[in-house]
């Protein structure tokens, strides 16, 4: 019997399928060249059917896809501080190596979004600012715990860590011989007196 | 009198204008979403007119645009070795800060090209491999000159330098407070006994 609860569950499953299809299409073609029509075809629906679930259209699909990626990282880092937080960054990088499609999607979107007209422009600017700030807080805590090397500026170390993470992902996707998790660990350790 | 030589010059100028337009269109929309038609409109030509100069179509335009960027960097680095070469990398990063469009173009293309079906996939893979190798050679020379810190692996230092360069460009384009030239100098110096 498909009562309201059954309908709700069915609709949530549909949304989930659509987000997965959007993920695959944007990862392959980027946001600009990807289309709602391609996403609809992937999931065996009409374009109108997809827009019934995502009234905001392509930008709403983009938002749903981006939020999904952040949820994963936030789960790993929840409640962690100092060296424990920095170790979490290494764990996230290790996960990424098994999620090539997601890394590719994110790399393409963050590059496209450098254009100020792109719908995710504000999202990426704010996201990088937020992450840099969280990582700086972790280095500060490491400093209070006596685990930071003398003379290291937590804010500069955070931006450097973020830049290295992004750069390693790009090189890895472009077939270079990098081990994202171990290379980011090595980089973070250059700032630490107590290694992770 | 427009003899054969005049015709040749006129054609070369046209090619130049088309490459500049391709540069602008790809920088704004990426390669996948950018079109020969947009490029033709930018330069006030028909699509057929553009294809007369670039028979290979959109991929030929992409190749011309990518080669132009490399020419600049090669001019800066020509004949330089060791610390002098590494200082050249800092100079190139400083130039980039005045070439936002070019950096944006390259960032979008290198992200799109992570897809193995993209026409520039091989180009970027080979380009990163070639640069990593050239930078490793510079660190090796620095080592022979006694300028490398003990225990530094030239090859690992080169990949790290390349990753940092790419990551800093992405953060800079996304509105973060980075000084590409000084930040890459700081990073290179972490590998050196004699600072640049």
The pLDDT score that the predictor gives to residue A143 is: 97
The pLDDT score that the predictor gives to residue A65 is: 85
Compute the distance between CA of residue B47 and CA of residue A19 in angstroms, rounded to an integer. 37
B196 touches A at CB < 8 Å: no
Report the residue count for chain B: 196
Where do the domains of chain A lie?
1-65, 79-196
CA distance B193 to chain A (A): 15
Superfamily of the domain at B1-64:
Homeodomain-like (1.10.10.60)
The pLDDT score that the predictor gives to residue B2 is: 52
Average pLDDT over residues A8-31: 86
**Is B114 close to A107, i.e. CB distance below 8 A?**
yes
Residue B43 has pLDDT above 60, yes or no: yes
Of B32, B173, B183, the CB nearest to A114: B173
Instruction: For residue B12, give Cα distances in angstroms to A178, B5, B17, B18.
Output: 42, 11, 9, 10
- Which site among B111, B118, B123, B181 would you substitute to test the A interface, given the most A Cβ atoms closer than 10 Å to its Cβ? B111
Place of tokens 């996201």: A127
Closest CA to A27 of A93, A81, A77, A99: A99
Q: What is the pLDDT of residues A167-179, one digit of tens each?
A: 999 999 999 999 9
The pLDDT score that the predictor gives to residue A89 is: 97
The nearest alpha carbon in chain A to B131 belongs to: A176
The pLDDT score that the predictor gives to residue A3 is: 60
Min mean pLDDT across A132-141, A164-173, B44-53, B93-102 is at B93-102
Q: What is the pLDDT of residues A83-141, one digit of tens each?
A: 999 999 999 999 888 888 788 888 888 898 888 888 888 989 999 999 999 999 999 99
In the CATH scheme, what is the code of domain A1-65?
Answer: 1.10.10.60
**Is A174 close to B28, i.e. CB distance below 8 A?**
no
B165 touches A at CB < 8 Å: yes
Instruction: Tell me the chain B residues in contact with residue A111 when contact means C-beta distances shorter than 8 Å.
Output: 30, 107-108, 110-112, 170
A99 touches B at CB < 8 Å: no
Residue B63 has pLDDT above 60, yes or no: yes
Q: Is B54 exposed, middle or buried (0-12, 13-18, 19+ CB in 10 A)?
A: buried
The fold for domain A79-196 equals Tetracycline Repressor; domain 2 (1.10.357)
Compute the distance between CA of residue B192 and CA of residue A95 in angstroms, rounded to an integer. 32
User: pLDDT confidence of B4, banded at 50, 70, 90?
Assistant: low
The nearest alpha carbon in chain A to B130 belongs to: A176
Compute the distance between CA of residue A26 and CA of residue A48 in angstroms, rounded to an integer. 19
- Which site among A102, A108, A114 would you substitute to test the B interface, given the most B Cβ atoms closer than 10 Å to its Cβ? A114
The pLDDT score that the predictor gives to residue B119 is: 85
Residue B80 has pLDDT above 80, yes or no: yes
Instruction: Tell me the chain B residues in contact with residue A129 when contact means C-beta distances shorter than 8 Å.
Output: 175-176
Q: What is the pLDDT of residues A37-88, one digit of tens each?
A: 999 999 999 999 999 999 888 888 988 888 887 887 889 999 999 999 999 9
User: pLDDT confidence of A4, banded at 50, 70, 90?
Assistant: low
């Amino acid at each position: 019997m498909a009562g309201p609860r059954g309908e709700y569950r069915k609709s949530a499953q549909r949304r989930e399928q659509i987000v997965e299809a959007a993920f695959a299409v944007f990862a392959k073609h980027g946001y600009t060249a990807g289309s709602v029509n391609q996403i609809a075809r992937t999931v065996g629906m009409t374009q109108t059917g997809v827009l019934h679930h995502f009234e905001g259209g392509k930008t709403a699909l983009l938002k749903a896809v981006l939020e999904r990626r952040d949820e994963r990282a936030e789960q790993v880092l929840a409640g962690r501080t100092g060296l424990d937080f920095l170790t979490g960054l290494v764990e996230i990088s290790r996960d990424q190596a098994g999620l090539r499609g997601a890394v590719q999607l994110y790399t393409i979107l963050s590059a496209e979004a450098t254009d100020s007209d792109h719908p995710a422009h504000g999202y990426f600017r704010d996201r990088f600012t937020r992450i840099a700030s969280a990582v700086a807080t972790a280095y500060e805590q490491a400093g209070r715990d006596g685990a930071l090397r003398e003379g290291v500026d937590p804010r500069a170390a955070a931006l450097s860590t973020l830049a290295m993470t992004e750069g390693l992902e790009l090189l890895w996707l472009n077939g270079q011989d990098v081990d994202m998790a171990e290379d980011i660990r090595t980089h973070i350790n250059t700032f630490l007196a107590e290694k992770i």
